[in-house]
Chain A
Amino acid sequence: MPKVSLTVNGKPASAEVENRTLLVELLREHLRLTGTHVGCDTSQCGACVVHVNGASVKSCTMLAVQCEGAEVVTIEGLAAPDGTLHPMQEAFREYHALQCGFCTPGMVMSAIDLVQRNPQGLSDREIREGLEGNLCRCTGYHNIVRAIAAAQQVMHGKVKELPRAAE
C-alpha cells in the first residue's frame, strides 16, 4: 500500500493507505480527526471541506495520495494553541449560525476561504452565492450569512473585536 506523508494542522503525519483512500478517510479513519464530516457521496454538501495548501477543498473529492507533501488544515487546527477561536468560529457561535453542528466544520472552512479570497469584502448576496457548495439543513442560512458578514470585518482588520449580535 502506498504511504502518504503530509502536514496536518502544523504537525507531520503519515499513513499507509489504499490507492482509493480519500483524503477525508485519511483524516477520519487513519488520523482520527473526526471533526471533518461526510454528509454525501456526490460532492454536494461540503461537510468535508478542509484547506489544502491554503485553499478550500472537498476532502471527499481528493485522493489521499494526491496530498503527498501537502499542508492540510482541518477544523481542529483553526483555534490558537491557547484555545482562542478563529474569528469565524467565534462568529458562528455568537450569531447562532449552527444548530446540529454537522455541517459546521465544512461551513466554517469554506467561509474562511471565501473571506480570504475576497479582501474587498462581501455583500450578503455574495456570501450566499459563495456558500453554493455547502448545505445546511437546520438554520435556513440566515444566521450563517450574518456570522460570515461579521467575521469578515475582523479578518480584514476593519474592527478589532467581533461585533456582538443584537439581543
Chain B
Amino acid sequence: MGFEGIGASVRRREDLRFVSGRGTYTDDINRPGQLYAVILRSPHAHARIRGIDTAAAKAAPGVAAVFTGDEMAADGVGGLPCGWQVKNKDGTPMAEPPHPVLAVGKVRHVGDPVAVVIAETRSRARDAAELISVDYEVLPAVPTLEAAQKPGAPLVHDGVAGNICYDWHLGDKDAVDAAFAKAHKVARLELVNNRLIPNAMEPRAAVGEFDPMSGEYTLYTTSQNPHVIRLLMGAFVLHIPEHKLRVVAPDVGGGFGSKIYHYAEEAIVTWAAGKLKRPVKWTADRAESFMSDAHGRDHVTVAEMALDRDGRFLALRVRTQANMGAYLSTFAPCVPTYLYATLLAGVYTTPAIYAEVKAVFTNSVPVDAYRGAGRPEATFLLERLVDICALEMGMDRVEIRRRNFIPASAFPYQTPVALQYDSGDYTATLDACLKAADWAGFEARRAEAKRRGKLRGIGISTYIEACGIAPSAVVGSLGARAGLYEVANIRVNPTGSITVFTGTHSHGQGHETTFAQLIADQFGVPMSQVEIVHGDTARIPFGMGTYGSRSIAVGGSAMVKAAEKIIAKGKRIAAHLLEASADDIEFKDGKFQVAGTDRAKTLAEVSLAAYVPHNYPIEELEPGLEETAFYDPKNFTYPGGCHICEVEIDPDTGVVEVVNFTAVDDVGRVINPMIVEGQIQGGVAQGIGQALLETCVYDADGQLLSGSMMDYTMPRADDLPNITVGTAITLCTHNPLGVKGCGEVGAIGSPPAVIGAVVDALKDYGVRHLDMPATPHRLWQIINANRPRMAAE
C-alpha cells in the first residue's frame, strides 16, 4: 500500500466500472413492466394553445396513455417551484409567474413541453406523439434581452409588465458617483456574456416507479442533488411526503450545473407511474437537451471603472441585463445577483462598487447556473475592464493588477459588495503563473510567430471566486428558500470497516476516491476499509448535493465533524476497555492509546465492543458506533489565482490556436492532486469553449438555431491545447480541512485570459475588446477590414 492519505494522487476507484462499461447511468436502469415516455414539445417560441387533440395518439398501437398540462393540473399537480426570491430595489419581491410541468394555455419557448405520450416502446411513443394535433395561435416572440425590453414588446407572461423579473441593486451608489466625479480617468466597456448550452455528455433521463402495496414512489434521475429533488417535487409539485418518495441519482454523466434543477420530466414520470401503476422511463435525445436543459450566462453589461492618477481603482459601476428565459429555473434568480455582483471586487481593493441588475423574461429556454454561475460573468467583465484600464492609463497589464491587488497582509478582507475574503495571496499565484508561462519571454515568441506569418498574443486573468456554498443564514437573508449545509453519516461497522453516507453527489468529481482518502486519513485506516455512499435518499439521511464547488468544503467538513464525534465516543469506549480515563486516551494511526503507554485498542476492537457490548460502559453510552453531522459553513470559500493564455491567429483564415494555457490556482488544501488537476483542466476547456467556440443562437422568431451538436460548437480534442496546471495555496481559515474547492475555477478564470490574448494578437488592428466567442469568421472580418490600412502603414 503506497501513501494514500491527504495529498496523494490515488487512482480513482470508480474508474474500473467506467472503463469496463459497467457504470449504471439512469438510462441503463430498466424496471420490470416499464413503459416509455416521449414528450411533445412546442415548435413555436410563443403561442396560445387553442386546443390539443390527443385522440389519434391515444388510439395508436402500444400507447398506454397521453396526458396534457390541463389534465395534470386538474389532478392537482403543481408548478415547478423556484428556490430563490430576489427583491427589487424598492423591496418588493421579484415577479414569479407559474411554471407548469406541461404547458397550460400558452407555450413560451421552443421546447416547452406540451404533452406526454406513454407507450410500450420508445418508438411507439414517438410515433404516437406525431399524431397529436395542437392548435397553436402563434404570437410574436421576444427571444432576446433587446427584443423583450422594447417599448410595447409582447409579454412572455401576461401579468409581468415589461417582461421584468426583477430590478435589483447592490452597493453604495452615492460613494461611487462621488468617486467618479473626482476620477483622473474613466475606463468604460460594453460587453456581452454569451449564452451557453451546458451539454453534459449524458442526456437527462428519469425513471418513475410506484409500489401500490406500500404507496411508495421511486424516481431514478440524472441529478446532482437527489434530496433537493425529493424536497421540491414531493412538497411543491406532486404532494408526496418524503417518507413515501425515494429519489436515486445513480452514476450521472456530467452536470456542470444543468442537473441541479428540478425538471418537469422528473415529475411527469413519477406522477404517470402512479397513475398507470407501471414504471415509466423518459430519456432525452440530444435535441431535447438543447431545448430543455437550463442554459447558462446571457448577460449584456455596461461597466465603468474610475481611476486615479496612479492607476488605482477608485470605483466600479456596473449595469447588467440578465436573461432568465421563459420561466424561473430552480436557482436562476440568484445567479446574476448574489453569485455575480458580490464578486465584482475581484482581487482588487476597489473601495466603492455599485451594481444594478435587471432580470428579463424572454421566449427562450430558462437560464440558470452553469459551471461557475455568475462568477465567470463577473470575472470576464472585471478582467476585461482591467485590461481596458491598462490601455487607458498606458500601463502594463500586469503592473496595474499588482498595484490594485488586495495585499496578502489584508486578510480577512471585507469587500464593498458584502463578501469577506478569508485568505489568499494573489501576488504569489501571479508570480508563479508568470514564471510558469514564461511571460517575460513572450515578445520573442511573438516575433518568431510573425516571421511565420502568425499573429501571436498573450492574455492574463487574475481572479477570485466564492464557492463552498453556503452559510444558510446568510443565503436565507438574501432570498434562498433552502439551507445550504451538508450532511455526513459515518458508520463504523462491527469489524472496523467504515461506510460513509454523504449528501453530496459525484458526477465526475471522483468523490468515491477523494472522500475515501479523507476518511482513511481521519481514522488511520487503509482506504480499502472505507466505502463512500451517495445519491440515494433511502440510504443517506439528508443532503443538499453538489454544485458551487461545495463538496469538499461543506461535505468534507461534515465528514470531519462526524469523524470527531466517532473518535470522541471511541475514546470513552477505549477508556472503559483499558481501565483508564477518557481524558488520557489519544487517537492516532487507527488506535486508541493510553497516553504515554503502549496500551491501546484498535478502531476495530473498539467498534466490536460497541456492537457486542458485553464489556461496555452501557450505563453511560449507547451501543453502536455511528454518527451524523450537519455542517453549516461559516463563510464562502474563496479560491483564486492566475490564468495566462497564449494564442496564434492565422490572418488568412481567422482561426485561433491556443498554443499555451497556464493556470496557477489557490484552491486551498489539496486532497488528491491528480483529481484537482483534472477538474481545473476540464473547467479551462469549458472556458476556452466559451471564449472561442460556443454560443447559443436564437433567430428573431425564437427558433433555436444552435440546436444540435452539428450547430453548437463543442470543444474537440484538436481545438484545445495541453493545459498546464499548478497550485500555490493558502488555507481556508474557517473550515476544518483548509479546503476551498476546485470545480469551477477553470471555467471562471480562463475566458478573459483567452480573449485578452486574442485582443493582444490583434492590437495592431485597432481591436480594444472582443465579445465571445471569437470565431474565425469574426476575426477574419476584422483582419480583412483592416488590411488596406495595415498595408498603407
Binding site for B on A (CB under 8 A): 18, 20, 28, 32-42, 44-45, 47, 74-76, 78-79, 85, 89-90, 92-94, 96, 98-105, 108, 124-125, 127-129, 131-132, 134-145, 165, 167
Contact = CB atoms under 8 A, between A and B. Distances in A.
Contact of A142 (B12, B28, B200, B722): B722
Given A38-B27, A42-B286, A99-B508, 19 more contacts: A38-B203, A40-B709, A41-B708, A44-B709, A44-B714, A74-B21, A75-B21, A89-B19, A100-B202, A100-B253, A102-B201, A102-B202, A129-B718, A134-B717, A135-B709, A136-B201, A138-B201, A138-B682, A165-B674
A118 to B, nearest CB: 15
Interface in B674-726: 674-675, 677-679, 681-686, 708-710, 714-718, 720, 722-723
B685 A105 contact: no
B652 to A, nearest CB: 20
A96 B675 contact: yes
10 contacts: A38-B285, A39-B253, A42-B708, A47-B201, A76-B21, A93-B12, A93-B15, A101-B253, A167-B8, A167-B9
B202 A39 contact: yes
Contacts of B23: 35, 101-102
Contact of B253 (A37, A127, A132, A140): A37
Contacts of A28: 27-28
A99 B285 contact: no
Given A42-B710, A98-B15, A101-B14, A142 B681 contact: yes
A62 B251 CA distance: 27
Interface residues of B, number: 61
Q: Say whether chain B's binding surface is mostly helix, strand, loop, or mixed.
A: loop
Contacts of A142: 681, 720, 722-723
Contacts of A96: 11-12, 674-675, 677-678
A32 B720 CA distance: 35
A36 B682 CA distance: 23
B436 to A, nearest CB: 15
A128 B16 CA distance: 24
Contacts of B674: 96, 165
Contacts of A135: 201, 709, 714, 716
Nearest to A44: B709
Closest 7 CB pairs of A and B: A35-B21, A102-B253, A101-B18, A140-B685, A75-B21, A100-B508, A99-B508
B19 A93 contact: yes
Interface string B554-571: 000000000000000000
Interface string B267-310: 00000000000000000011100000000000000000000000
A98 B681 CA distance: 12
- In this complex, which of A90, A127, A136 has the most chain B Cβ atoms within 10 angstroms of its Cβ? A136
Contacts of B379: none
B30 interface: yes
B22 interface: yes
A38 B203 CA distance: 8
Contact of A99 (B286, B509, B709): B509
A139 B685 contact: yes
B717 A33 contact: no
Nearest to A127: B717
A101 B255 CA distance: 12
B708 A137 contact: no
A149 B16 CA distance: 20
B202 A37 contact: yes
